Amino acid sequence: MTQTLDATLAGSPARALVCRSCSARYPLAAQHACIECFGPLEVAYDERAIAAVTRQQIESGPANIWRYAALMPVGQAPASRVSVNPGWTPLVPAGALAGAIGIDAPLWVKDDSANPTHSFKDRVVSIALTAASQFGFTRFACASTGNLANSVAAHAARAGVPSMVFIPADLEPGKIITTAVYGGDVIAVDGSYDDVNRLCAQLADTDEFEKTAFVNVNVRPFYAEGSKTLGYEVAEQLGWRIPAQVVIPMASGELLTKVDKAFSELVATGLAVAPAGGWRVFGAQSVGCNPIATALRDGTSDITPVKPTGIAKSLNIGDPASGPFALETVRRTGGWMDDATDDEIREGIALLAATTGIFAETAGGVTIAVLRKLVASGRLDPTLDTVVFNTGEGLKTLDAVADQAKPTHTVAPTLRAAREAGLLD
C-alpha cells in the first residue's frame, strides 16, 4: 500500500515515521523498517500539538483509550475508529499483596484483563487497524501467541472486515477457540512464534497480500503507539502522577519501552508529575524465555535468541525485536529485570488471585513472581509506590492452574454429608 495519512486533515498530532536507529524520516504510511539502515520506525509528533492537550480535554473523553485520541496518531474522528473500544481498565489497590511480599508502600495492579478480548493487545490492535483502515487495507492479519489473534479476529468481526490470523499450532486451546469463534481464517503453523512471525513477514511482501494489514508487521509503528495508553491511564488514575516503580512483562520488549515513553511525554507536556528521583522501569520474563533478562544480567546489549519453553506462552518470543530498547529503558531509569520458573509463575497467579480477586493468565503470574523476586533481592525499593501490570486473563490459560485450583470438598447434597465433610466445624 502506498497511501499516506494526511495528518493535518485528520486532526492528528502525528507528523512522520522516524527511524529509531538512524533518525531518517518518512511519511505516515504502512512502513515499518528504515530503507537506509533497516532500523525500526516510530511515529513522530508535532510537539506543539501534543503540548496543547489538557487534562480536562482527556477527562471529558470516553472511558476507553479514545480519551487519549489527541495524543494518538489516528482515530481523532470517532467514525474513523476500527475498535472494540478497549482501555480505562481498573487500577486496583493491592494492599494485601504488598503485605504478602514485603512492600510497605502503596502497590497497585493495572488489570488489562478487563479489556474486551481480555488482554492489553486490544489497545495496540485498535490503533493499528484504525491506521490500516485509513491506508486502505481491506483485510486484517497478524502473527500471534494467542492474545493478539483473539483481538484481531474480534476487531475484524466488529468492523465487518475479513481476517487471517497465524498462530503456533501448539497454543492453549482457549486462545485458539477464542480466535476461531469469530469466523475469520485461522492458520495454525507448525512452528514457534518466531517461525510464524517470519512466515507473516514473507507473506506481507507478496502481491497477494498487498491489501492485507499485518498489525505487527506492516503497520507496526502505529500498533506500538497503542501501548502508550497503558502508561497514560496509570498516570491519570493516580491523579496525574507517575508511579516511582513499574513492573512490566516482556515478550518483544515493546510494551515496557512504550509505557516509559508515555510517562516521558506526560511529564514533558506538564500533564503529569514525575516522582522525586524519577521513575524506575522493571521487566519480567519467564525462565523458559529470558533473552532480554539474560542480556541485562550479562551486562550486554546484544540479545542472544533462545528457543522458548514453559507455560508463559504469550511471552514466548525467543528473538525479541525491541529487546535492545527495553534494556536501554531499564538501564537508563535504574530498574532491573528478572525471570520466573513455571512453578513460580503458578504461585504468582494464585497469590494475585487470593489477595486481589484478579485471575491473571500466565504472563500475569510471571510479573507477580518477578515482583516478589525483585523485592527479595533488594532491586525494587519496598518503600516506594509501585504499579505492576497484568496484561491478560486467567481464563485463557486454565491448564496452567488446573492441578492446583480444584474443589476443596466434594459432598452429597445433604446436611449430614456436609457435617461429615467437616463443613460445620
What amino acid is encoded at 211 in this protein?
A: K
Q: Which of 116, 308, 320, 392 binds a second copy (CB under 8 A)?
A: 116
Q: Is 195 in the site for a second copy (CB under 8 A)?
A: yes
Q: Which of 22, 35, 52, 63 binds a second copy (CB under 8 A)?
A: 63
CB distance 184 to 157 below 8 Å: yes
Q: Which residues contact 37 (CB under 8 A, 6 or more apart)?
A: 19, 21, 22, 24
Q: Where are the beta strands (DSSP E) in 205-347?
A: 212-214, 245-249, 280-286, 337-340
d(CA 199, CA 144): 12
Q: Is 239 in the site for a second copy (CB under 8 A)?
A: no
d(CA 304, CA 294): 9
Q: Which of 88, 222, 263, 336 binds a second copy (CB under 8 A)?
A: 88
Q: Is 180 in the site for a second copy (CB under 8 A)?
A: yes
Q: Is 79 in the site for a second copy (CB under 8 A)?
A: no
Burial class (CB in 10 A: 0-12, 13-18, 19+), 210: middle
Q: Is 138 in the site for a second copy (CB under 8 A)?
A: no
Which window, 183-191, 226-234, 268-276, 369-377, contacts a second copy (CB under 8 A)?
183-191
Closest of 365, 370, 360 to residue 396, by C-alpha: 360
Q: Is 219 in the site for a second copy (CB under 8 A)?
A: no
Which window, 18-26, 214-222, 239-247, 391-399, contacts a second copy (CB under 8 A)?
391-399
Q: Which of 11, 102, 173, 305 binds a second copy (CB under 8 A)?
A: 173
CB distance 384 to 242 below 8 Å: no
User: What residues numbered 317-356 form the site for a second copy, per CB under 8 A?
Assistant: 349-350, 353-356
Which window, 8-16, 72-80, 188-196, 312-320, contacts a second copy (CB under 8 A)?
188-196
CB 25 → a second copy: shortest distance, Å? 32
CB distance 360 to 389 below 8 Å: no
Which window, 10-18, 69-77, 327-335, 408-416, contacts a second copy (CB under 8 A)?
408-416
Task: Please tell me the number of Cα atoms within 13 Å of 214 on its side-chain side.
Answer: 23
Q: Is 137 in the site for a second copy (CB under 8 A)?
A: no
Q: Tell me if residue 243 falls in helix, strand or coil.
A: coil
d(CA 425, CA 422): 5
CB 86 → a second copy: shortest distance, Å? 10
Which window, 108-116, 219-227, 305-313, 331-339, contacts a second copy (CB under 8 A)?
108-116
Which residue's entry shows cell 507478496? 206
SS3 per residue for 77-103: CHHHCCCCCCCCCCEEECHHHHHHHCC
- Binding residues for a second copy, total number by CB under 8 A: 81
User: What residues numbered 284-303 form the site for a second copy, per CB under 8 A?
Assistant: none
CB 138 → a second copy: shortest distance, Å? 15
Nearer to a second copy, 85 or 309 (CB): 85
Nearer to a second copy, 90 or 275 (CB): 90
d(CA 378, CA 384): 12
